[in-house]
Chains A and B, each alone.
Chain A
Amino acid sequence: MKSWIAFWNILLKDMRTYYLKPPNVSWGIVFPLAWTGMFFVKSGRGLESLPLVLPGVVAVSVLFGTTSMLSVTVTFEKKNRTFERLLLAPLPLEVLMLAKTGGAIFFGILNAFIPVLMATFFLELPPVEWSIFIPAVALIALASTFLGLFIAVAVKEVFEAQTFSNFFRFPMIFLCGLFVPVSALPFFLRPFSYALPLTYGADLLHGSLRGEHFLPFALDFAILAIFCVVLFTLSLHNIKRRWIA
């Protein structure tokens, strides 16, 4: 059995059917613009403050792009029973779920580059440390997608997936050091920050885009990778427990 044929075609089908549809492509452009605009209005500063908000906008674009899409598409397919068709295939569950999440990961990575590309039109960005930025974006996309999967497996309805996603996403925006540094947060909130994967992703983005970070890059990468493994393993466990019960 050539698992790669199945893997590649599941990924390709999802890209065509869900992720590269015009509404989602426009989401990838409008969403970062809206966030950037919102922070300009809030700060009252000019374009020179763009590098300050850029890491946050990148992270939020990836987080929202991946979790929204994946939690909805998987829940939708489960409800329509098309997910059953995939479960019947002679594929290891790990391969199947990696194929199913692959589209969202790719979509998340694309989403991350849009704000950076847009920013280059407005001002000359300080040198970006691409060797950190690219793997950081990939790991943030992985962690966010697996968070979306974890959410999708926990709910039954599409609307529940969105509500449950927001339960995780909105606290992350304020607790993960995207726009407010973790060191500036009240002391009692900091443990929550360290328990969230995006804190480490945001640190990597700040480091690669602005040269400021509070943890060593290697530690950020390692913790983010652990979050990915834990979220994926938990999701697989829940799929076996809830969907193949």
Chain B
Amino acid sequence: MTGQQTLALDVQGLSKRFEDVQALEKIDFQVFSGELFGFLGPNGAGKTTTINILTGLARPDSGSIHIGGVDCIAKPRGAQHLLGVVPDESNLYAELSGFENLCFCATLYGMEKKERVARARELLDFFGLTPAANRKFGSYSKGMKRKLTIAAGIIHKPPILFLDEPTTGIDVASARQLRQLIAKLHEEGTTIFLTTHYIEEAERLCQRIAFIVEGRIVRVDRVEDLLQPIQNNHVLQLAYEGGPQNLKELVAEESRKEERDLAFSAPREGFLRVEAPHPIRVGPLVRLLEDQGAEVYEARKIRPSLENIFVQITGIETGIMNKEKERKGGKE
């Protein structure tokens, strides 16, 4: 980011404690106008607490928040008109129709009748919800509910949009459509603060990412800069059957003897991951495994991703994140 860009969000030393849990510990970050900023971390890391504080739904214990230049500690509700918020769970009225919900949310921002009706119709059309416009929100599917909740969040065309886990718990097609929408809103100049525990989603959409773990920000950087150290890394994954329990250690030892610059890991049973700063020759590696009694049936080149960086920085295995995805997906 260049120094000429204006700040949409400026957060310094933000802390929050809930009884015996330190939810946020002096977090600092800045989001520039027009930026798509990712906030990545496992469940319980402090993502939703951060959003709640920034959107005026909670108060911090200490720290400063400036949104669009407004000091939100001095004026806790002073920047509400600048914000659109899409929470992790729907907060619309089950007994109102989709159209009524959107019109009602527009009235909360002082929109006149003609303007709100036109905007509600435009958004229903955009999200493909026009056929269900007069159906009660309570009867919508998960994907439809998510779309309408996002529509309600952007009904007043906010310059800053908070999206809390927007694609969690919805089908693949709807998630894809929502990601396209997020990209479109960003292209149109909306500043987006996106929390997610889908690493690939953050990698695909965001310009900068903050990693938050146990209430602490462990790294904030541009996606390209985060990926830079592993750009020249080569990763190969071998799938095998049989062989001794300590196969990884035996192969690593043999490899060291042959002075090969390879790093081995076992992501799960029956799989061996090999990393090197140069292209990896498959033949000798397969022979090495076969010499130890294992039968290799697949060798696949893996593209290094933000996931590797996340694991490196946070020490959190992505398996934990995946379990959380499934749990959250099933909950909604």
Contacts and interface: CB of A to CB of B under 8 A. Distances in A.
Partners in one complex: yes
A88 B57 contact: yes
Interface stretch (B36-44, B92-100, B263-271): B92-100
Contact of B104 (A1, A9, A84): A9
A123 to B, nearest CB: 41
A33 to B, nearest CB: 29
Contacts of B161: none
A196 to B, nearest CB: 34
A1 B81 contact: yes
Contacts of A13: 93, 96, 104
A17 B94 CA distance: 11
Interface stretch (B107-115, B117-125, B224-232): B107-115
Interface stretch (B82-90, B176-184, B201-209, B299-307): B82-90
Given A9-B104, A89-B109, A244-B59, A81 B77 contact: no
Contacts of B90: 81
A9 B112 CA distance: 11
Interface stretch (A90-98, A100-108, A220-228): A90-98
A2 B111 CA distance: 8
Contact of A88 (B83, B89, B94): B83
A117 interface: no
A166 interface: no
B105 interface: yes
Residue with the highest number of chain A CB atoms closer than 10 Å, among B90, B91, B92, B94: B91
A86 B107 CA distance: 11
A interface, over-half SS: helix
Contacts of B92: 82, 85
A3 interface: yes
Contacts of B218: none
Interface in B144-193: 152
A80 interface: yes
Interface in A125-157: none
B57 A17 contact: no
A84 to B, nearest CB: 5
Given A17-B95, A90-B81, A84 B87 contact: yes
B110 A6 contact: yes
Contacts of B77: 90-93
A245 interface: yes
B57 A87 contact: yes
Given A9-B104, A17-B96, A244-B57, A85 B91 contact: yes
B96 A85 contact: no
A5 B56 CA distance: 21
A5 B113 CA distance: 9
A6 B58 contact: no
A86 B108 contact: yes
Residue with the highest number of chain A CB atoms closer than 10 Å, among B76, B83, B95, B104: B104
Contact of A81 (B76, B87, B109): B87
A90 B87 CA distance: 17
Contacts of B94: 80
B109 A1 contact: yes
Contacts of A84: 57, 87, 91
A244 B91 contact: no
Nearest to A86: B108
Nearest to A92: B77
Contact of A85 (B58, B76, B105, B112): B105
A218 B58 CA distance: 42
B80 interface: yes
Nearest to A96: B108
28 contacts: A2-B110, A3-B110, A5-B111, A6-B109, A9-B104, A9-B107, A9-B108, A13-B93, A13-B104, A17-B95, A82-B91, A82-B93, A84-B91, A85-B91, A85-B108, A88-B55, A88-B56, A88-B80, A88-B85, A88-B108, A89-B108, A90-B77, A90-B81, A91-B77, A91-B108, A244-B56, A244-B76, A245-B58
Which 9 residue pairs across A and B have the least CB separation, nearest first? A9-B107, A90-B80, A2-B110, A89-B108, A90-B81, A81-B91, A85-B91, A1-B110, A5-B110
